[in-house]
Amino acid sequence: MKRGRVNTNSKAQTTIFIIIAVIVVILIITFVYFNNSISFTKLDAEYFESSELKPQLTNIESLIINCLDETSKQALETIAIQGGYYQQPKKALELDDVFVPYYYYEGQYQNPTKQQIQTELEKFVNNNLKNCLNNIQVTDFTISIKTPKTQALIKQKNVEFKFDSQIKIIKDKKHVLFEINQHPLTQPSALYDILEVADYITESHKEDSEMYCISCVDELAEEKDLYVDIIPITDITTLIIISDNRTSSEPYSFEFLNQYTGDETSPEFEVGGNVPEPPTGGVE
């Protein structure tokens, strides 16, 4: 019986040719798709650059920037009324449409950090920007945005907002992308200084849970060009309002509560006293 010899080289060569053919087909498909995408984008851009549509597109872009501006201002106003929060914390007094958080609650310190407040600002913008954009009404145009990504940074004298997202402007099944990451905003704000005063008032309880150094608070507020109102709500609860009227046309008020144990009849105020020195290094 004769035994046949299998030509393994021939099989290997056939396999290599098949692999090469598959790779070539993939490369061709990728090339065609990529070129079509480039052509589509280029044609869309040319379509929107026409003399008829260019003014409308410019107007829409201005309206989008207005939305970024208005939403970031609303974020600052809301978290001020709600003591640095957009979403309600566990310890807070609920009112009609807002809440006021407790910073000091029967011996526990609840005041948020600057980083937490920045996150709350970012959440507000991310959750509310779409509402503003949806209100932009331009005939035959559609505006679409995925979930925005916002970065807020509280600085002395202002708060910076940066946006990392794309807004799609659509007409006649064609679209252009508006890069809002190229339009950061800086809102004048005394929030940095307000947080210093708020933290100082709260931290004072570590020295004496029953007393404020009212002259120290007054001195720090005057240095920051702020106004502080400490209002008794009940025998054991006070409302603190820190206000600024120099960075905007309307007064800007930041509110929070302090609640004491039943052992204190009410928080007392004294001039001087054993209290920490006013902060000089900024808020954390």
pLDDT(18) > 90: no
More confident residue, 277 or 162: 162
The answer as to whether 208 is a domain residue is yes
Domain that holds residue 247: 92-112+190-270
Look at residue 83 in the predicted model and tell me its pLDDT: 97
The answer as to whether 127 is a domain residue is no
pTM here is 0.76
Pairing type for strands 252-259 and 237-244 reads antiparallel
The answer as to whether 195 is a domain residue is yes
Structural domain tally of the chain? 1
The answer as to whether 125 is a domain residue is no
pLDDT per residue over 128-142, tens digit each? Answer: 999 998 888 888 888
What span, in angstroms and rounded, lies between the C-alpha atoms of 259 and 241? Answer: 15
- What contacts 197, CB < 8 A, 6 or more positions away? 217, 220, 221, 224, 226, 228, 242
The answer as to whether 214 is a domain residue is yes
Q: pLDDT-derived band of residue 29, with 50, 70 and 90 as boundaries?
A: very low
The answer as to whether 82 is a domain residue is no
The answer as to whether 247 is a domain residue is yes
Using alpha carbons, select from 176, 143, 175 the residue that is nearest to residue 67. Answer: 143
Q: pLDDT-derived band of residue 96, with 50, 70 and 90 as boundaries?
A: confident
The answer as to whether 200 is a domain residue is yes
Q: Residues 60-89, buried b or exposed e (16+ Cβ, 10 A)?
A: bbebbeebbeebbbebbebbbbbbbbbeeb
Look at residue 248 in the predicted model and tell me its pLDDT: 67
Look at residue 6 in the predicted model and tell me its pLDDT: 44
Alpha-carbon 180 to chain mean position: 14
Contact 106/237 with Cβ under 8 angstroms? no
